[in-house]
Amino acid sequence: MTDLRIGVVGIPGKWSTEALADAVEERTGFRLVIDMGHVTLDLERGTMLYDNIDLCKLDGLIIKKISEIYKPDVLDRMEILRYAQARGVQVFSDPEAIIRLIDRLACTVTLAATGVPIPPTVITEDPEVALETAAEFGTAVFKPLFSTKARGMALIEGDSFRAINQIASFASNNPVMYIQKKLDLSGKDLGLIFLDGEYLGTYARASQGNTWNTTIDSGGKYEPFEPDAELIEMARKAQEPFGLTFTTVDIALTPQGPIVFEVSAFGGYGGAKYACGIDAPGLVADHVIGKIRG
């Protein structure tokens, strides 16, 4: 046990949040799960209150999840956490690093700059360009800039007579259209796990039906997977610019070779546990305590 007071930012009742809070409590004797929807920042008083606890007086904060659903206002929650960091609270991962990942476009731009292979991608606000892109790609995946687990994504056939209406419907909620070519993923994609830049293991998400994505919410199942050194190095290169405490890099194996879809802002504890036998909550808690204690 230590005398450290470390809070866990997440979704109360969710397995990964509670498992991380349990791991912190086992090591410190202190347990606090923080729902950012109930945090009040008072800049004049310099306080950040949650359940009558001033978060600015904690030793550390671990961000497991910032919201159940990604949307632009989660960036404001990250700014609130950035204030706690400015007041001397150690925050894991760095809020500025997470901000660059919550917006899908910001993540993709950084990935493209690293030179790792990504799917053919076009960003436009022009419906005519979007239609031309869908036709060029054959089948295109239209993705909201703020979403997780494939929520809000639209699969559009470029030569379909419905494409114009589908694009108009998507654009009504997503004026900046993020469009990627649908690739043959052979029914699975990979999550390569990193703690503070160190590779830990890999899991696969395998589709269990005729859904076009492999997310667990769509029925995908976790499976173990052994990547080669080249794949691990690709993932390491992808996650390196972000400097996250814990993350997973999503990679798909296509007939044209492996491609990187995204770097996760928070990482997947479930895949680490069920496919790899990795105790992500315990490892993260140990890492954070070690960093705070110096």
Question: What value does the mean pLDDT take over residues 107-129?
Answer: 97
In the predicted structure, residue 219 carries a pLDDT above the cut 60: no
Question: What value does the mean pLDDT take over residues 222-240?
Answer: 97
In the predicted structure, residue 205 carries a pLDDT above the cut 80: yes
Question: What value does the mean pLDDT take over residues 221-244?
Answer: 97
In the predicted structure, residue 208 carries a pLDDT above the cut 70: no
Q: Which domains can be identified in the chain, with CATH numbers?
A: 6-92 (3.40.50.20), 121-181 (3.30.1490), 184-282 (3.30.470.20)
pLDDT per position as a tens digit, 87-114: 999 999 999 999 999 999 999 999 999 9
Question: What value does the mean pLDDT take over residues 279-285?
Answer: 98
pLDDT per position as a tens digit, 43-78: 999 999 999 999 999 999 999 999 988 888 899 999
In the predicted structure, residue 250 carries a pLDDT above the cut 60: yes
Cα–Cα distance between 290 and 294 in angstroms, integer? 6
The pLDDT confidence band at residue 216, using thresholds 50, 70 and 90, is low
pLDDT per position as a tens digit, 147-193: 887 889 999 999 889 999 999 999 999 999 999 999 998 888 999 99
pTM comes to 0.91
The pLDDT score that the predictor gives to residue 227 is 97
Average of per-residue pLDDT values in the chain = 94
Looking at 11-15, 54-58, 133-137, 208-212, which range is the least confident one? 208-212
